Amino acid sequence: MHVAIIGIGLIGGSVARDLRRTGFAARLTGVGSSPERAQIAQDLGLVDRVTDLAIAVREADLVVLAIPVDRIVRLLPQVMDLVTDRQTVTDMGSTKKAIVESIARHPRRRRFVASHPMAGTENSGPAAALDRLFENKVAVLCDLEQSAPDAARTVEALYAALGMRLVRMDAATHDLHAAYVSHLSHVASYALALATLEKEKDDNAIFALAGGGFASTARLAKSAPDMWVPIFRQNRTALLDAIDAYQRQLQALRTAIDANDESAMRTLIEEANQIRRILR
Amino acid sequence: MHVAIIGIGLIGGSVARDLRRTGFAARLTGVGSSPERAQIAQDLGLVDRVTDLAIAVREADLVVLAIPVDRIVRLLPQVMDLVTDRQTVTDMGSTKKAIVESIARHPRRRRFVASHPMAGTENSGPAAALDRLFENKVAVLCDLEQSAPDAARTVEALYAALGMRLVRMDAATHDLHAAYVSHLSHVASYALALATLEKEKDDNAIFALAGGGFASTARLAKSAPDMWVPIFRQNRTALLDAIDAYQRQLQALRTAIDANDESAMRTLIEEANQIRRILR
């Protein structure tokens, strides 16, 4: 199969590595967001060639959009204008509702499969691409009833090649879940980094004791604004709901600590410990 | 050297494994918080024998308290009553001010060295003990001017055997730093677990999409109340200051998201990204 990857950064580059290794893609074409990044992707051998969007889309069996979600919303209608009934298009964006809405009434809508592989790191760019980044993780397919069955099968085969487990849900449900278990984690981590960095202005040794616990909780705060600002904007309503829930729980913890209320602290921590059911 | 470890859970058990492996301890005595845990520690071969506090302290060259900080404050004065000028006592608690204050006027104060190895996992108990848990991490020694030079040297040698880098500061500075880079991370993680678990009551599939980012940020929420409630209580003032700073930053992010203010979001995220200076 000939696969065109639009955006050959961390996600697109990692997809390219796995599709080449597994033989899923006989041919890989990349489209870079800048000539510099395209050159790095080609130098790294991630794709067979880089070219412009129109050529890449026209020649591909499968087009994968692996770019920030604001750029997906702008570019996807143009891509759909170019494809025929023999071709399939998918995206790997972290939001789904705004993306499916961007082509809701497009005559080629059924050639598109909305998807979201739940994998990544805090790094970005083609040099950050990894082998087996997706293995044993979850990929979400959304609103499948609006996709042609053969297009859905092609994208299912793509994620099977990446070693992912599939979950199916509608786009609105995806965005609500992602707000809680992915986007909120990033907000919490950014706030932790900001609070400690602010303290560092008064006390430049504040990080002398930073260990594994801090590293784990603040890791996501390294994530790039080009990716995350558009996600926060597109998933604003669900994310605000999640932040409100988070602020209420944080305030409950603060109130218990302020009151030096041992029993209230213990109750909250024991409840939080239930996360062991989910995270083993 | 004969080392007595009071509390043979994750920390005490891991210390025992390393001190035996490196040969630092020729003999290891454990004191368990319960007969069941003491039996597990003995069955695992972590210590040569378990016995009661008075016997263990009397026979040891070095006594290590590796128990929750509320129990350190209660037990440390009793331990100091038992030791002679040939013996050394240290603790591994995550707070330092309340602990040094608990024996500030004790006639044997100079035999005590306040310390905090910045290492751990979200698990607890002797079965959670690990080899090389402390390697290449930081141990803090506090208020060293109040310890006898030979006692300080003994504890420095202990941490050298564990492979740790040493940092020296006063107890109040330690507690302030630990509030930001360790205790606040736990509060933020508990709140994240609570908010998502609360959502799960309405929507039992909320965790379908939980991936590596969520796991990283919520990992510390598995940590046990027996350890963390006493830390929050003893470091209440510094921790409330850190939580206030965190809440302000969280609110700044929320305001930017609510206003759909792309430039404000980008500025905050770029500032948070500066954490890359600290976390590589």
pLDDT in tens, B32-49: 988 888 889 889 999 999
Please tell me whether residues A7 and A79 are part of one structural domain. yes
Please tell me whether residues B23 and B124 are part of one structural domain. yes
CB spacing of B218 vs A169 below 8 angstroms: no
Look at residues A127, A136, A231, A110 and name the one whose alpha carbon lies nearest to residue A182: A231
Nearest-CA distance B221 → chain A (Å): 6
CA distances to A39, A127, A238 from A46, rounded to whole Å, are 10, 10, 36
Please tell me whether residues B63 and B154 are part of one structural domain. yes
Using an 8 Å CB-CB cutoff, list chain A residues near B212: 119-121, 137
CB spacing of B181 vs A254 below 8 angstroms: no
Residue A34 predicted with pLDDT over 90: no
Counted domains in chain A: 2
Using an 8 Å CB-CB cutoff, list chain A residues near B261: none
Residue A89 predicted with pLDDT over 90: yes
**B145, B169, B193 — which closes off a domain?**
B169
Please tell me whether residues A100 and A229 are part of one structural domain. no
Q: What is the pLDDT of residue B230?
A: 98
Q: What is the pLDDT of residue A280?
A: 79
Q: How many residues are present in chain A?
A: 280
Q: What is the pLDDT of residue B202?
A: 85
Q: What is the CATH number of the domain that holds B115?
A: 3.40.50.720
Q: How confident is the model at residue A33 (pLDDT cuts 50, 70, 90)?
A: confident
Amino acid letter, A120? G
Q: What is the pLDDT of residue B211?
A: 85
**Whether the Cβ atoms of residue B106 and residue B76 lie closer than 8 Å to each other:** no
A239 and B CB contact within 8 Å:
yes
> Which residue, chain included where needed, has tokens 């979600």?
A69
Please tell me whether residues B29 and B132 are part of one structural domain. yes
**B141, B169, B197 — which closes off a domain?**
B169
A219 and B CB contact within 8 Å:
yes
- Give residue-wise pLDDT tens across range A194-253: 999 999 988 888 888 888 899 999 999 999 999 999 999 999 999 999 999 999 999 999
Phi, psi of A49 (to 5 degrees): -160, 160
Q: What is the CATH number of the domain that holds A231?
A: 1.10.3660.10
- Chosen for mutation from A214, A222, A223, A262 (greatest number of chain B CBs closer than 10 Å) is A214
Over residues A144-163, the mean pLDDT reads: 98
Over residues A60-88, the mean pLDDT reads: 98
Using an 8 Å CB-CB cutoff, list chain A residues near B69: none
Q: What is the pLDDT of residue B206?
A: 84
Look at residues A102, A98, A74, A61 and name the one whose alpha carbon lies nearest to residue A7: A74
Using an 8 Å CB-CB cutoff, list chain B residues near A181: 196, 206-207, 209-211, 214
Please tell me whether residues A120 and A208 are part of one structural domain. no
Using an 8 Å CB-CB cutoff, list chain A residues near B270: 225
Please tell me whether residues B129 and B197 are part of one structural domain. no
Do strands A138-142 and A112-117 pair parallel, antiparallel, or not at all (unpaired)? antiparallel
**Which chain A residues in 135-174 lie under 8 Å from chain B, judged by CB atoms?**
137-138, 140, 167, 169, 174
CB spacing of B181 vs A216 below 8 angstroms: no
DSSP B228-276: HHHHHHHTHHHHHHHHHHHHHHHHHHHHHHHTT-HHHHHHHHHHHHGGG
Please tell me whether residues A137 and A186 are part of one structural domain. no
Please tell me whether residues B165 and B182 are part of one structural domain. no
**Side-chain-side CA neighbours of residue A226 (13 Å):** 13
Over residues A46-63, the mean pLDDT reads: 96
Structural domain span for residue A247: 174-277
Rg of chain A's alpha carbons, rounded to an integer? 21
Q: What is the pLDDT of residue B190?
A: 98
Q: What is the pLDDT of residue A72?
A: 98
Please tell me whether residues B138 and B246 are part of one structural domain. no
**A150, A169, A188 — which closes off a domain?**
A169
| Nearby residues of B30 by Cβ (< 8 Å), 6 or more positions away | B4, B5, B8, B12, B16, B38, B41, B42, B46, B47, B49, B50, B51, B56
Q: What is the pLDDT of residue B49?
A: 94
Q: What is the pLDDT of residue B204?
A: 81
Please tell me whether residues A33 and A96 are part of one structural domain. yes
CB spacing of A250 vs B229 below 8 angstroms: no
Whether the complex's predicted ipTM surpasses the cut of 0.90: yes
Please tell me whether residues A114 and A243 are part of one structural domain. no
Over residues A10-28, the mean pLDDT reads: 97
B218 and A CB contact within 8 Å:
yes
Rg of chain B's alpha carbons, rounded to an integer? 21
CB spacing of A240 vs B225 below 8 angstroms: no
* Cα–Cα distance for residue pair A139/B205, rounded to 1 Å: 15
Using an 8 Å CB-CB cutoff, list chain B residues near A121: 212
pLDDT tens string for chain B (280 positions)?
Answer: 999 999 999 999 999 999 999 999 999 999 998 888 888 988 999 999 999 999 999 999 999 999 999 999 999 999 999 999 999 999 999 999 999 999 999 999 999 999 999 999 989 999 999 999 999 999 999 999 999 999 999 999 999 999 999 999 999 999 999 999 999 999 999 999 999 999 998 888 888 888 889 999 999 999 999 999 999 999 999 999 999 999 999 999 999 999 999 999 999 999 999 999 988 7
